[in-house]
Amino acid sequence: MTQAPATSRGTRRQHDREIVALAVPAFGALVAEPLFVMVDSAIVGHLGTAQLAGLGVASALLTTAVSVFVFLAYATTAAVARRVGAGDLPAAIRQGMDGIWLAILLGALVIAVILPTAPAIVDLFGASHTAAPYATTYLRISALGIPAMLVVLASTGVLRGLQDTKTPLYVAVAGFVTNAVLNAGLVYGAGLGIAGSAWGTVIAQCGMAAVYLAVVVRGARRHGASLRPDTSGIRASAQAGAPLLVRTLSLRAILMIATAVAARLGDADIAAHQIVLSLWSLLAFALDAIAIAGQAIIGRYLGADDAVGARQACRRMVEWGLAVGVILGALVVLARPVFLPLFTSDSTVKDVALPALVIVALSQPICGVVFVLDGVLMGAGDGPYLAKAMLVTLAIFAPVALLVPVMGGGLTALWAAMTLMMTVRMLTLWLRARSGRWLVTGATR
């Protein structure tokens, strides 16, 4: 009678240590990534309004192009972690190399599409005639760094699968500093203008990719894993990533619909929406860090044929997600008077944003569960279910969101629809987690 609680407490402490050890560095690396764009904006902004507008269009396009392939990190993490759990490090690294080769191939394909079509893409996204030349210049140069960006994604997945989130943090921080120095030197020192900013980013991303490749290659040589491209392995990586690509595109569609609806509500509403969305995205980094820990931990347990351990880890991570969600929600409520003036002095925009922020605060515990279960199922390699669940969520969210302006609702109603979207995600993920069908053990799924 006395032994079970002690064992339970010991298990929870073990899970807590693993979650903290993986999630804290992962959070730092996640926060470092958007700082690249912020530094570019701060430096280019002093060149002029047209240059800054061009950067805004081009960086949005690049971010979208790269984020679509985030499955390179997610799928690779799950596959590598399974091999680690099975005690086969050479196969784990070999699996990671397949993901890296896929990243290189996809990067080359994206370059081939963007370089000749950059002016048309910029025009399609509504850049003004003064901003379009700068956007085209930045987009074409920065596109050369896309293979490196995708290699960074895949390599990050390899290291996460190997239960290492500290190295990605160090590389992200070093990349951020290098990017800032290069941008300042090339834009102003060399007088290259917005082209200098683009080249600085390309060089920084290539440097990060080189560091990652050096780490992975060193591990491959240590464990005798082959570095050559393997057609069947690359094909398997693509097949594992395809459902996650569907999931990501569906999520992107949800965010685009929300922004389009906010734009139809009026200038004050779209301005307030951007403020609220920026905070929502920032909060997502904290929750995503736990999800990343979930991917690595769950994959390792399942690879070790420990379904009981995987289920216990899942339960503990859900508790973490709930707790962090409650804390974040409370912080949003408390920080509202300080947060809003940082973005606007317009009282109308503040009045519109204020109730929407309350909705965001109340939804954080739901978001916590969603992010954690998302990470758990990714770690289990349950991509096909995640794709179907997100398509169902999109099908429910889209008509509800589009009805907001028709029914005379405002931004608060739109964010209520966003909360409905997260609730649907939570229900679909919870049902899957509860069913246990994701508990497929072994070195491969």
Q: What would the pLDDT profile of 393-405 be if each residue is shown by its tens digit?
A: 999 999 999 999 9
Q: What angle do CA 443, 294, 103 make, to 5 degrees?
A: 65
Q: Which residue has the higher pLDDT, 274 or 245?
A: 245
Q: Which of 82-91, 116-125, 383-392 has the lowest mean pLDDT?
A: 116-125
Q: What is the DSSP letter of 305?
A: T
| Per-residue pLDDT tens digits for 165-182 | 999 999 999 998 999 999
Q: At what angle do helices 71-85 and 89-124 cross, to 10 degrees?
A: 170
Per-residue confidence (pLDDT) for residue 254, from 0 to 100: 93
Tokens, residue 24: 């804290």
What is the percentage of the chain residues whose pLDDT exceeds 70? Answer: 98
**CA distance to 11, 240, 378, 434, per residue, from 315 (Å):** 11, 25, 15, 10
Tokens, residue 92: 């784990």
For range 184-207, the mean pLDDT? 93
| Per-residue pLDDT tens digits for 257-271 | 988 888 888 878 888
Residue 274 contacts residue 281 (beta carbons within 8 Å): no
Residue 437, helix vs strand vs coil? coil
Residue 192 contacts residue 105 (beta carbons within 8 Å): no
Residue 251 — very low, low, confident or very high, per pLDDT cuts 50/70/90? very high
Residues 6+ apart with CB under 8 A from 295: 74, 77, 78, 81, 160, 161, 375, 376, 378, 379
Instruction: State the Cα torsion 243-246-247-252 to the nearest 10°.
Output: 160
Question: CB 271: neighbour CB atoms within 10 A?
Answer: 20
